[in-house]
Amino acid sequence: MGDHDPAASSAPTPDSSAGPAPNQGQESRAGGLDERTLLEAGRILEHLRTQLADLDRREQALNSQMAELDREQRRLQLSSQELQAEATARAEQLREREAEVAAAHSDLEARQRELDEAREALAAERADLKASMAVELQEDRKALAASQLRLQRDRTKFQQDLDLLRRQRKAWEQVREYERARLESELDQERRRRLAEVQQAECELEEKRSSLVAEIEEHRQERLADVEQREQELEQKRASLQAEIEQHRQERLADVEQRERELEEERARLEGEIETQRQNHLAEVKLCEQELEEKRATFEAEIAEQRQQFLAEEQQRRQELEAGIEQQRRQRLTEVEERAREMDQEMFALKSELEEQRQAWSAEVEQREQEFERQRADLEKRSKFHESHLARFREQVVRDQRELAFRRQQHRVWAEQVEQSIRLRIAHMRRFRDLLTRREESLDRDRSRFNEHRKTVEKEFEAGRTAFAEERTRWVEERDATRTELQRRQEILTLHAENLESRRQRLDRLRDELERTNRETLEIRLAVEQTWSELSENAESPQAMRRVEAARLDLNDHYQRRRDTIARERAELQEVEQEFLRRREAFRQERGEFAGWITQREEQLAAREQALHAELQRIREQEESWQLVRERWQAEKLEAEAVIRDLLSQLESVAAKSVPPQIIPPVVESDEDGGSLSTPHPAGRNALPAPGSEAA
């Protein structure tokens, strides 16, 4: 076709130069040719020249495209040669790796033999270690049995001492019961005088209670102020979190825009790849491309299977043999590694177990020895203390018995007064205890209400957490559905791209048809030139004019059909392109809406989570405040009990010191409970401890 261009471009020149000469010859010969026919023929000729020039331009464009295709074909041939060279290099690498695998296999066999020897040595060492540990355990058991015998003897001795102390305590209890009645009679005398002091103490307690109530109210106000301050802090934190969320949203939008730009670049790259693939599907390079695709698929399969198979051109026996060798090598490697790990783990476990047992036994033996020494020292101290205490107690009992004979005559004088004072004090104590009981019941009711409220709030919080989890699950499902929809639309776009590829292939076929049309046009051009020469020779023939007119009409119809076909194909391509752009814009819009929806849902979930955390914090603070109130009430109760015990001890001490001076013969009477009431005596420095606190 390159040799035909000069002829095509230079063909109209002889026609234009030869046109006037035959016309002048015909005018000279015929002289009466119709001028209208000549003008029509000139217009037809001019139209044909214009079309021929257009065909020349198209032919030049096709020639340039063919040159580009030739260059592409040469580039593909070079790439095929490079791929073949790469395949040869990979085959060489596979052979080298095969040799390396064989060497590694022999090395693994040697390592396996070494591991077998190490395992045998480890088994022998383990047997020796077990024997030594058995001997040590036997010795430890013997020592432990001896220590247990010593402990049993010490326990028996301690039990004997304890029985002796119990008998002595029983005797002391009898003496204490005897003295209790006497001391109660002494206490009742002073209780009448201390009743006013007790009432005054109750007034003071009431004042303290009112002050405590005021302090509680003040504390509540402080807590309210603290809560308001924390609410302000939470509001500030919420504002900062809102700013962070806005910043995160901006970052997400920037990421989305970046992703859109990447998608645009990816689309441009895909369009370039599609164009490259379209050019690679030419008929001249189909066979070479198929071979290259087969080799590329083979190489990719080999790489994906981790070199387990070799080239498809090799023999099946070699593939099976190499696969078996590879499988055996991996199995042996796996077995060797597993055995090595198991042996290491067993050795480490045995060593750690033996060390732990040794440390545990030594620690237990040391602890038992220390405990035994401590118990023995405690027993010695206690025995010495009890012996000295019993000696002092015997001396005190002898002195008290001597003094008791002189102090039994004071009970009848003021027994009635003491009894009345006891009844009044008991009534007052009962009233005070009733008051404490009512306050405890009130606190119990408040505690039960608080527990119910806390359970209700916990249920609401659990329900809110469940709803939050369900809402998050629904959001995840909606997000997955949206992603699935986006994936489906991406597949639709891929299908549209494939459709565009098919349209481009159709355009290629149309170009081939245009090439054929160009060839037909050249043939028509030759026919027109022949017809024009015949017309020039036989201008008077009407048959020649009719043939020229028929040829012109055929050419017009042919080119009109071609133009209609090209316009229709172009319109279809434009429609497809518009549809693609419209769907891409819709996809962008939906993606932006999805990003906004995700941001909105994240903000809602964050707000809900913050509200739940705030409610939980409020419940915890309320529970802490109730706990503080309860602890304060307990402290108040303990303080009141301490005041009462202090007053009782003061009454007892005053009653013990205020004994009547007269001497009355000892009188022993029985009270209503059957116990004996004895005459009190003043509490000396070496007297027995008064059980007034126990009676109270």
Q: Three-class SS of residue 666?
A: coil
Beta bridge pairs of residue 677: 669
Predicted confidence band of residue 285 (pLDDT cuts 50, 70, 90): low
Buried b (16+ CB within 10 A) or exposed e, 489-528: beeebeebeeebbeebeebeeeeeebbebbeebbebbeeb
Query: Residue 300's pLDDT is what?
Result: 62
Query: Residue 557's pLDDT is what?
Result: 76
Least confident of 270-284, 319-333, 568-582: 270-284
- Mean pLDDT, rounded, for 601-626: 77
* 663-675 pLDDT, tens digit each: 333 333 334 343 4
Q: What is the DSSP string of 268-331?
A: HHHHHHHHHHHHHT-GGGHHHHHHHHHHHHHHHHHHHTTT-S--TTS-HHHHHHHHHHHHHHHH
Query: Residue 428's pLDDT is what?
Result: 73
- Mean pLDDT, rounded, for 362-366: 72
Tell me which DSSP letter residue 35 carries.
H
- Mean pLDDT, rounded, for 383-398: 72
Higher pLDDT, 62 or 578: 578
* 427-479 pLDDT, tens digit each: 777 777 777 777 777 777 877 777 787 777 777 777 877 877 787 788 778 77
Beta bridge pairs of residue 670: 676
Predicted confidence band of residue 61 (pLDDT cuts 50, 70, 90): confident
- Mean pLDDT, rounded, for 40-55: 72
Buried b (16+ CB within 10 A) or exposed e, 534-566: ebbeebeeeebbeebeebbeebeeeeeeeeeee
- Mean pLDDT, rounded, for 367-395: 73
Task: Answer yes or no: is pLDDT of 490 > 80.
Answer: no
Amino acid type, 163: D
Higher pLDDT, 347 or 58: 58
Residues of the chain with pLDDT > 90, as a percent, come to 0
- Mean pLDDT, rounded, for 481-491: 77
Query: Residue 514's pLDDT is what?
Result: 72
Query: Residue 281's pLDDT is what?
Result: 56
Task: Answer yes or no: is pLDDT of 31 > 50.
Answer: no
Q: State the Cα–Cα distance between residues 342 and 346, nearest whole angstrom.
A: 6
Query: Residue 365's pLDDT is what?
Result: 67
Query: Residue 586's pLDDT is what?
Result: 77
* 167-226 pLDDT, tens digit each: 766 777 776 677 666 666 666 666 666 666 656 666 666 676 666 666 666 766 676 666
Query: Residue 566's pLDDT is what?
Result: 75
Q: Which of 94-98, 571-575, 655-659 has the highest mean pLDDT?
A: 571-575
How high does pLDDT run on average in the chain? 68
Predicted confidence band of residue 336 (pLDDT cuts 50, 70, 90): low
Length of the chain (residues):
696
